[in-house]
Amino acid sequence: LMDESRDLTMSGNLQSTVALTITEKNGAVRTRKVNMISKTYGGTEKRMMKFLEPADVRGTAMLIIDNKDDQDDMWIYLPALKRTRRIVSTEKGKSFMSSEFTNADMASGRNADFNISHMAGSGQNGQWVIESVPVDDDVADEYGFSRKVTYLDKDDLKIRKIDFYNFDNDLFKTIEILATQPKPGGQKGYIMTEMYAVNHLNGRSSRVKFDNINTSASIPDNTFIADNLSR
């Protein structure tokens, strides 16, 4: 179920403007504007994000190779340092651009990293409730949580939300999928167009919203190389 659910979210060719909104506990809001392109190759999705606004992050860029059966590969370009560096596995659980999403949340993740099982009551009330526990302590440290619980629609396997638990087994974060749109041309699956993450411990939240979605653009394969992040 989790493998099939992942495959349904592979977006194919996609260009979009993305708004990342970060809301502090006191209500202060910061917004970041991103240009994103992605392309799917079988079970692998390649994704490049370049930050446009505000000025303090303009030019920052990130490349993600989201592998189904292998570790994800990530690189980031930092214009202040004028260099591109690989994001190592120990940084998966780090914050993505100061938001409540992590670097790992920007990819689908590898199901082989987890022991996956149904929770009690899974299959009732029209949804599957599936627990994913890291296979060992090293993997748990990489992702930054002790377990996650994914809620899937039983009929179409759409992800509705994911709950994340810390190492004290407290619920500390929830990601909700607020909006989707069908893949073009009658393809099976969907594109996530709005996601909301809330940290239950610190009161911060973040929202990702896709606008100006183009699913018919021609995207050259050589777009997705680390050398292009600085261009």
Structure tokens at 163: 């709950």
The tens place of each residue's pLDDT in the chain, 231 residues long, gives: 999 999 999 877 899 999 999 999 999 999 999 999 999 988 899 999 999 999 999 999 999 999 888 888 999 999 999 999 999 988 989 999 999 999 999 988 789 999 999 999 999 999 999 999 999 999 999 999 999 999 999 999 999 999 999 999 999 999 999 999 999 888 889 999 999 999 999 999 999 999 999 999 889 999 999 999 998
Which residues make Cβ contacts (< 8 Å) with residue 205, sequence separation at least 6?
A: 22, 23, 100, 196, 197, 198, 199
